[in-house]
């Protein structure tokens, strides 16, 4: 990967409220366990902290319960949800030079830069500052959320006095009095009381501060530990006041002599550890057992391996290279690395959607990891397995006699969706999770994991289809559900849901057949009471699944009633009315042929063999005219299907519209957190779209096309422990086996054996 794509930076840091909040998200530090928004260590201008500026640090999967008021207390409606919490603030560092305090808002900022280094895995702020009385300093601040030691966050703070000799005071704070960000105008967020943690203890031990807090309702505990290290002769003082531990260093500055201060912070929670206080102490000892430079080297080594597995290079578009690099970096920052966390829509970069996990994980993020780092996909599946019992409970709440129904949005496994028509009714979440397990199997052939955990999920969720659906005039129908398009809710026979259920049921039968003679399978069958009769029922339902089709238009209607609804010309809707969900009543939207995002078109991507080329083309053209793309999950899917249909220019237009979504803040909401699923969609648009990657039972398929603006592109995929480099040029495609054994691959439908390298002419 060329170095030009390794950085994203902002020179002359903009200090207005909009850009400060935006930069908190763009330059945040995260590793899948912890996430820290980029708040200035010294704070903002007086008054900025109120309202929209709350220093924020998160732990993946750590939550509290919050009340959800329903207008009518109908049976089964959610009245309590989970929310991701802001944990103790370990960021604050204040500097005083003979009484003058460093601030980006006082004196003169002579030069500044904020850089995200995606090779080293750090953010760096550089400031050349002159105090109100003329003292000049060069300040460099490096922050890291460690991929090597997930609980660890460090701030490496260096000050170079240029024309100043005198007293320096460094004040480092560790504050447990934290609040969650609240925005009553944002429908995705909580607007209730914002404090969810109460102090259990604040102490100093061996020069480190420990703050342990407990949630009010869930009873979870979190402990953070901070150790401050100054590499100069100094006087040191600790002050504890009201759950805030402050460490003060008094030292002397001399021109040209660098002052270096390192702040180590570690986090531990009671979800993962029985005694989070003791665990935090052990994590701090581990962090301090090696020099920080060694931790930097381990960070860089981790990312070197990561980029070697997943890196993409676009020839002829450096800016787009940086955007794609940014997208892939956000994915590894966001994704949970254990069974207790998953991926929220904003990752660990903000409070948007309250940290809930959706279908985004399986359908937009997991395809990236399945193709580049299947071990992480396995962890995401393990999270779903850990919450399977709660999915069973959820199915029972919704009236189902057997099986499991995963919640539409959740953190710990219970439903958090307050508006059920576009939430709990999205039963396709079961098919999405099963699809991700099947994809993992197709990429790895890890049948042992399927037997251990994957099959149980597939069987239990398949049972749900048999209860929610029924046979009518010989066809298996699924009524009163919602598909991916949230502008069309509670419908009969949503095409996406039905065709995915068909695929799901067929694979439940296949897994049963492949596992039934294996050791230990009897235990699973006995555990869940699975019978041959049920498997036969799965097969019969799949074979007779009703898939809506219109003979006149030769398309798959989105559902049984979709084509009966009024048309609505998107071109006549004022631009100020988008997104429509903020300007039109849901019932008004439901009564029109208008889509928030791809639904049937999404089905044509994930199951493109289910329909003829003609049907896919006709459906694409039909739905393209009525899709608003009000969701950031939308355009990448249209790009993929356009590429599959040979509409390369159109595919590129869709891709380009979304590739820089966060870096350009196109939706004017990246300040709430980056769009992780869109970042996964950017990857899919290149690899699954232009590259034509498909994982099928018969093998791995490629059908590369080349956008006119590019002279070429390359990407890597992992398949059955082999890594393949794919390089696409104007006249040819090169496939090279980098590691692993020879693999059978399909290119433009033709089978090849890849033993070393292949050069195939582009059709």
CB 89 within 8 A of CB 242: no
For residue 125, count other CB atoms closer than 10 A to its CB. Answer: 22
Q: What 3-state class would DSSP assign to 211?
A: strand
Task: Please tell me what DSSP assigns to residue 545.
Answer: B
User: What is the separation, in whole angstroms, between the first and last Cα of the chain?
Assistant: 28
CB 368 within 8 A of CB 414: no
CB 714 within 8 A of CB 733: no
Residue at token pair 């990236």: 368
- In degrees rounded to 5, what are phi and psi of residue 453? -140, -40
CB 211 within 8 A of CB 201: yes
Task: Please tell me what DSSP assigns to residue 335.
Answer: S
CA separation for the pair 215, 416 (Å, rounded): 18
Helices (H) and strands (E) in the chain, counts: 20, 32
Q: What 3-state class would DSSP assign to 482?
A: coil
Beta strands in 146-234 (DSSP E): 152-161, 166-175, 197-205, 208-215, 221-230
Contacts for 71-79 with beta carbons within 8 Å, 24 or more apart?
76/397, 76/398, 76/399, 77/418, 77/420, 78/415, 78/416, 78/417, 78/418, 78/420, 78/424
What does the radius of gyration of the chain's CA atoms come to, in whole angstroms? 27
* Catalytic site positions: 486
DSSP string computed for 364-419: IIHHHHHHH-HHHHHHHHHHHHHTHHHHHHHHHHTT-SSS----SSBSSSS---S-
Beta strands in 283-353 (DSSP E): 313-315
């Amino acid at each position: 990967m060329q170095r030009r794509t390794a950085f994203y930076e902002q020179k002359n840091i903009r200090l207005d409220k909009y850009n400060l909040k935006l930069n908190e998200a763009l330059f945040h530090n995260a590793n899948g366990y912890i996430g820290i928004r980029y708040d200035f260590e010294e704070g903002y201008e007086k008054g900025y902290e109120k309202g929209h500026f709350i220093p924020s640090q998160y732990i993946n999967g750590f939550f509290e319960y919050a009340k959800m008021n329903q207008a009518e207390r109908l049976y089964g409606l959610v009245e309590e949800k989970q929310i991701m919490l802001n944990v103790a603030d370990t960021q604050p560092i204040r500097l005083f030079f003979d009484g003058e305090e460093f601030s980006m808002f006082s004196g003169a900022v002579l030069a500044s830069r904020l850089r995200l280094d995606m090779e080293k895995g750090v953010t760096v702020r550089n400031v050349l500052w002159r105090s109100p009385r003329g003292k000049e300093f060069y300040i460099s601040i490096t922050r890291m959320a460690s991929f090597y030691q997930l609980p660890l966050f460090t701030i490496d703070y260096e000050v170079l006095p240029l024309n100043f000799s005198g007293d320096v005071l460094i004040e480092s704070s560790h504050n447990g009095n934290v609040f969650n960000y609240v925005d009553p105008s944002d429908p995705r967020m909580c607007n209730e009381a914002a404090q969810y943690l109460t102090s259990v203890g604040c102490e100093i031990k061996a020069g480190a501060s420990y703050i342990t807090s407990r949630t009010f309702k869930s009873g979870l505990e979190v402990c953070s530990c901070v150790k401050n290290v100054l590499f100069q002769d100094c006087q040191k003082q600790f002050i504890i006041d009201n759950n805030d531990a402050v460490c003060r260093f008094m030292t002397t500055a001399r021109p040209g002599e660098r002052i270096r201060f390192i702040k180590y912070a570690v986090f531990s929670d009671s979800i993962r550890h029985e005694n989070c206080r003791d665990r935090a102490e052990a994590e701090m000892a581990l962090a301090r057992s090696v020099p920080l430079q060694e931790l930097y080297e381990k960070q860089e080594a981790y990312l070197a391996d990561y980029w070697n597995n997943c890196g993409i290079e676009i020839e002829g578009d450096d800016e787009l290279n940086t955007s794609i690099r940014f997208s892939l970096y956000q994915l590894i920052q966001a994704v949970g690395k254990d069974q207790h966390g998953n991926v929220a829509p904003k990752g660990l970069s903000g409070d948007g959607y309250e940290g809930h996990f959706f279908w985004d994980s399986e359908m937009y993020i997991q395809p990236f990891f399945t193709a580049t780092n299947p071990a992480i996909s396995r962890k995401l599946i393990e999270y779903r397995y850990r919450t399977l019992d709660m999915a069973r409970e959820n199915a029972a709440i919704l009236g189902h006699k057997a099986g499991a129904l995963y919640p539409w949005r959740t953190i710990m496994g219970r439903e958090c969706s307050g508006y059920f028509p576009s939430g709990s009714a999205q039963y396709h979440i079961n098919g999405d999770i099963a699809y991700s397990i099947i994809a993992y199997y197709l990429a790895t052939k890890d049948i042992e994991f399927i037997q251990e955990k994957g099959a149980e999920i597939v069987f239990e969720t398949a049972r749900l289809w048999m209860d929610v659906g029924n046979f009518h005039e010989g066809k298996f129908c699924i009524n009163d559900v919602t598909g991916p398009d949230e502008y069309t809710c509670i419908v009969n026979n949503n095409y996406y849901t039905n065709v995915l259920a068909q695929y799901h049921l067929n694979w439940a039968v296949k897994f049963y057949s492949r596992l039934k003679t294996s050791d230990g399978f009897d235990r699973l069958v006995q555990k869940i009471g699975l019978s041959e009769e049920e498997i036969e029922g799965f097969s019969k339902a799949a074979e007779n699944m009703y898939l809506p089709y219109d003979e006149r238009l030769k398309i798959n209607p989105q559902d049984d009633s979709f084509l009966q609804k009024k048309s609505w010309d998107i071109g006549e809707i004022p631009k100020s009315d988008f997104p429509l969900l903020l300007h039109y009543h849901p019932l008004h939207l439901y009564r029109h042929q208008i889509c928030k995002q791809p639904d049937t078109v999404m089905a044509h991507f994930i199951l493109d063999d289910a329909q003829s080329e003609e049907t896919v083309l006709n459906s694409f053209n039909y739905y393209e005219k009525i899709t608003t793309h009000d969701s950031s999950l939308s355009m990448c899917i249209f790009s993929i299907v356009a590429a599959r249909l040979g509409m390369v220019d159109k595919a590129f237009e869709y891709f380009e519209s979304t590739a820089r979504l966060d870096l350009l803040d196109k939706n004017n909401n990246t300040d709430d957190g980056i769009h992780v699923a869109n970042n996964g969609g950017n990857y899919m648009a290149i690899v699954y779209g232009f590259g034509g990657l498909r994982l099928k039972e018969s093998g791995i398929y490629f059908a590369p096309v080349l956008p006119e603006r590019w002279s070429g592109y390359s990407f890597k995929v992992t398949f059955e422990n082999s890594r393949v480099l794919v390089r696409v040029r104007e006249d040819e495609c090169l496939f090279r086996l980098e590691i692993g054994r020879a693999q059978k691959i399909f290119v433009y439908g033709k089978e090849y054996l890849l033993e070393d390298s292949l050069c195939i002419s582009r059709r």
